Chains A and B, each alone.
Chain A
Amino acid sequence: EVQVVESGGGLVQPGGSLRLSCAASGFTFSNYWMGWVRQAPGKGLEWVADIKHDGSEKTYLDSVEGRFSISRDNAKSSLYLQMNSLRAEDTAVYYCARDYGRSYDPWGQGTRVIVSS
């Protein structure tokens, strides 16, 4: 079964850091672009970052550029999102997803990040 599973969310104070992880299985991870998408409480979907299959290209939402860093370990079939200088507006469920035909499939169940003092 093709699946991705996120972990690492939690409660963090403004200005703090958090590292999200995503474990992939059921497909050849090193062949695919991967991405992170978030959803603030009661809001729609917002793309955060993407990384090329070999890690050579990374793109970010403007509002997270310089604060967030996407990376991957193909040997471990894992995707990461290092989030620094967190703000209240970063509070959201963060989803990991595989790039599939310029869409996302599958999505993980999400990991919740709450930025609050």
Chain B
Amino acid sequence: EIVLTQSPATLSLSPGERATLSCRASQSVNSYLAWYQQKPGQAPRLLIYGASNRATGIPARFSGSGSGTDFTLTISSLEPEDFALYYCQQRNNWPITFGQGTRLDIK
């Protein structure tokens, strides 16, 4: 099983700042890495697929990068609605696995 480790567990930033979230895989997942945003009481929403492709309707301030074992989700300038939980997920090998999440809090 591929283990995804997200860091940091919690990130406290202010609106307008840049956020950098990390996801590290225990073995290569090639580019089959996705990022999701989840707000309280809501279903997850796909942000990035294939490591760097923005999903439909996702603002350009969200970007993804990386391949192999190290991946990054960057939010260039935080908006108030961006404070939420973020998960990475790999689909290179079965079982599909998710990271434990990074909570993005308002500072």
Q: B34–A107 contact, CB under 8 A?
A: no
B15 within 8 A of A: no
Interface residues as binary, A92-115 with B (CB distance below 8 Å gives 1, 0 otherwise):
000100001111111111100000
Chain B residues positioned under 8 Å from A104 (CB to CB):
34, 36, 44, 46, 89
Majority secondary structure, A binding face: strand
**B-side interface size class:** 20 to 34
Q: Measuring CB to CB, which residues of chain B are less than 8 angstroms from any residue of chain A?
A: 32, 34, 36, 38, 42-46, 49-50, 53, 55, 87, 89, 91-92, 94-101
Q: B98–A103 contact, CB under 8 A?
A: no
Q: By the criterion of a CB under 8 Å from any partner CB, how many residues of chain A are at the interface? A: 21
Q: B49–A50 contact, CB under 8 A?
A: no
Q: Which residue of A lies closest to B91 (CB)?
A: A102
